[in-house]
């Protein structure tokens, strides 16, 4: 996804751990990417807000 404002439909705990620096999470947010693919999941570690191993506040559960 290109940098900037993006939108996400919902989030799910997919059980796949992603770690980025000090952030780690098994929650993934569902979106459409910039290449025309729909239903793509992006790890919550790349989203602003939230805590380790917790859902992103305010984003619905899928």
pLDDT in tens, 9-58: 999 999 999 999 999 999 999 998 888 899 999 999 999 888 999 999 99
Which structure tokens are listed for 29?
């947010």
Q: What's the pLDDT band for 5 if we cut at 50, 70, 90? A: low
Report the pLDDT value the prediction gives residue 58, as an integer from 0 to 100.
Answer: 92
Predicted pLDDT at 62: 94
Which pLDDT band, with edges at 50, 70 and 90, does 4 fall under? low
Q: Can you give the pLDDT at residue 61?
A: 96
Contact 62, 10 (CB under 8 A): yes
């Amino acid at each position: 996804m290109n940098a900037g404002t993006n939108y996400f439909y919902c989030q799910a705990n997919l059980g796949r751990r992603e770690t980025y620096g000090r952030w780690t999470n098994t929650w993934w947010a569902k979106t459409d990417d910039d290449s025309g693919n729909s239903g793509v999941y992006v790890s919550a570690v790349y989203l602003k807000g939230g805590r380790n191993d917790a859902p992103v506040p305010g984003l619905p559960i899928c």
